[in-house]
Amino acid sequence: MAALILSLAALGASPSRAGVEAPIGSVAFPPESTALPPAAQPLLDGVAARLAAHRNLRIELQGYAGGSDREARAQRLSLARALALRRYLMSRGVPQVRIIVRALGNHSTGGDADRVDVFPLS
Protein backbone atom coordinates (compact mmCIF):
# COMPACT_ATOMS: atom_id res chain seq x y z
CA MET A 1 0.00 0.00 0.00
CA ALA A 2 1.31 3.44 -0.85
CA ALA A 3 2.18 5.90 1.86
CA LEU A 4 0.83 9.40 1.31
CA ILE A 5 1.71 12.69 2.90
CA LEU A 6 -0.39 15.77 2.21
CA SER A 7 -0.64 19.35 3.32
CA LEU A 8 -3.04 21.17 1.02
CA ALA A 9 -2.51 24.37 3.00
CA ALA A 10 1.01 24.45 1.58
CA LEU A 11 -0.40 24.77 -1.95
CA GLY A 12 -1.19 28.42 -1.37
CA ALA A 13 1.90 29.22 0.71
CA SER A 14 4.32 32.01 -0.06
CA PRO A 15 7.24 31.33 -2.41
CA SER A 16 10.52 30.00 -1.10
CA ARG A 17 13.92 31.42 -1.97
CA ALA A 18 14.43 28.97 -4.83
CA GLY A 19 10.84 29.23 -6.08
CA VAL A 20 10.08 25.69 -4.90
CA GLU A 21 8.14 24.99 -1.71
CA ALA A 22 8.41 21.99 0.55
CA PRO A 23 6.60 18.99 -0.97
CA ILE A 24 2.85 19.06 -0.48
CA GLY A 25 2.55 15.36 -0.95
CA SER A 26 4.37 12.20 -1.82
CA VAL A 27 3.15 9.02 -3.49
CA ALA A 28 5.07 5.85 -2.68
CA PHE A 29 5.21 3.10 -5.30
CA PRO A 30 5.94 -0.58 -4.81
CA PRO A 31 9.39 -1.52 -6.16
CA GLU A 32 9.44 -1.79 -9.96
CA SER A 33 5.81 -0.58 -10.25
CA THR A 34 4.62 2.31 -12.39
CA ALA A 35 0.89 1.82 -11.75
CA LEU A 36 -0.69 4.67 -9.82
CA PRO A 37 -1.53 3.33 -6.35
CA PRO A 38 -5.28 3.69 -5.63
CA ALA A 39 -4.43 5.27 -2.27
CA ALA A 40 -2.92 8.23 -4.17
CA GLN A 41 -6.26 9.32 -5.62
CA PRO A 42 -7.46 11.40 -2.61
CA LEU A 43 -4.14 13.27 -2.56
CA LEU A 44 -4.25 13.96 -6.29
CA ASP A 45 -7.93 14.93 -6.21
CA GLY A 46 -7.05 17.50 -3.54
CA VAL A 47 -4.16 18.82 -5.61
CA ALA A 48 -6.41 19.10 -8.69
CA ALA A 49 -9.06 20.98 -6.70
CA ARG A 50 -6.49 23.39 -5.31
CA LEU A 51 -5.02 24.00 -8.77
CA ALA A 52 -8.53 24.76 -10.05
CA ALA A 53 -8.96 27.31 -7.26
CA HIS A 54 -5.56 28.95 -7.84
CA ARG A 55 -5.20 29.59 -11.58
CA ASN A 56 -1.60 30.85 -11.32
CA LEU A 57 -0.30 27.87 -9.37
CA ARG A 58 1.81 25.22 -11.08
CA ILE A 59 3.25 22.01 -9.68
CA GLU A 60 6.38 19.96 -10.19
CA LEU A 61 6.36 16.18 -9.97
CA GLN A 62 9.73 14.72 -9.00
CA GLY A 63 9.95 10.99 -9.65
CA TYR A 64 12.44 8.61 -8.04
CA ALA A 65 13.22 4.92 -8.48
CA GLY A 66 15.45 3.03 -6.09
CA GLY A 67 16.72 -0.49 -6.09
CA SER A 68 18.44 -0.29 -9.45
CA ASP A 69 22.13 0.20 -10.00
CA ARG A 70 21.45 0.93 -13.67
CA GLU A 71 20.98 4.67 -14.08
CA ALA A 72 19.02 4.44 -17.34
CA ARG A 73 16.52 1.96 -15.90
CA ALA A 74 15.98 4.04 -12.77
CA GLN A 75 15.51 7.14 -14.93
CA ARG A 76 12.85 5.46 -17.08
CA LEU A 77 11.04 4.06 -14.05
CA SER A 78 11.00 7.42 -12.25
CA LEU A 79 9.71 9.13 -15.40
CA ALA A 80 6.92 6.58 -15.84
CA ARG A 81 5.82 7.13 -12.24
CA ALA A 82 5.73 10.92 -12.56
CA LEU A 83 3.84 10.62 -15.85
CA ALA A 84 1.25 8.38 -14.15
CA LEU A 85 0.52 11.20 -11.70
CA ARG A 86 0.41 13.75 -14.51
CA ARG A 87 -2.07 11.62 -16.49
CA TYR A 88 -4.33 11.35 -13.46
CA LEU A 89 -4.22 15.11 -12.80
CA MET A 90 -4.93 15.85 -16.45
CA SER A 91 -7.93 13.49 -16.30
CA ARG A 92 -9.18 15.74 -13.48
CA GLY A 93 -8.94 18.86 -15.65
CA VAL A 94 -5.46 20.15 -14.80
CA PRO A 95 -3.83 21.56 -17.95
CA GLN A 96 -0.59 19.85 -18.91
CA VAL A 97 1.25 23.19 -19.04
CA ARG A 98 0.73 23.60 -15.28
CA ILE A 99 2.54 20.33 -14.49
CA ILE A 100 6.32 20.02 -14.71
CA VAL A 101 7.73 16.49 -14.66
CA ARG A 102 11.25 15.67 -13.48
CA ALA A 103 12.66 12.14 -13.53
CA LEU A 104 15.46 11.95 -10.98
CA GLY A 105 16.11 8.23 -11.19
CA ASN A 106 17.95 6.75 -8.22
CA HIS A 107 19.19 10.12 -6.92
CA SER A 108 16.87 10.31 -3.92
CA THR A 109 18.08 12.58 -1.13
CA GLY A 110 15.86 11.04 1.53
CA GLY A 111 12.52 9.41 2.08
CA ASP A 112 11.17 6.43 0.18
CA ALA A 113 13.41 5.64 -2.79
CA ASP A 114 10.36 4.65 -4.90
CA ARG A 115 8.15 7.72 -4.93
CA VAL A 116 6.93 10.84 -6.67
CA ASP A 117 6.97 14.11 -4.71
CA VAL A 118 4.52 16.90 -5.52
CA PHE A 119 5.84 20.46 -5.18
CA PRO A 120 3.99 23.74 -5.68
CA LEU A 121 5.81 26.28 -7.83
CA SER A 122 5.56 30.02 -7.48
pLDDT of residue 21: 64
- pTM for the whole thing? 0.81
Question: What is the homologous superfamily of the domain 4-121 according to CATH?
Answer: OmpA-like domain (3.30.1330.60)
For the segment 57-98, what is each residue's pLDDT rounded down to a tens digit? Answer: 999 999 999 876 688 999 999 999 999 999 999 999 999 999
Give the domain ranges of the chain: 4-121
Residue type at position 47: V
**Cα dihedral 47, 115, 24, 2 sign:** positive
**Cα dihedral 6, 10, 12, 18 sign:** negative
Residues 65, 77: Cα–Cα separation, whole Å: 6
- Cβ–Cβ contacts within 10 Å for residue 87, how many? 13
pLDDT of residue 3: 42
For the segment 105-122, what is each residue's pLDDT rounded down to a tens digit? Answer: 988 777 788 999 999 996
Tally of residues, the chain: 122
- Cβ–Cβ contacts within 10 Å for residue 80, how many? 16
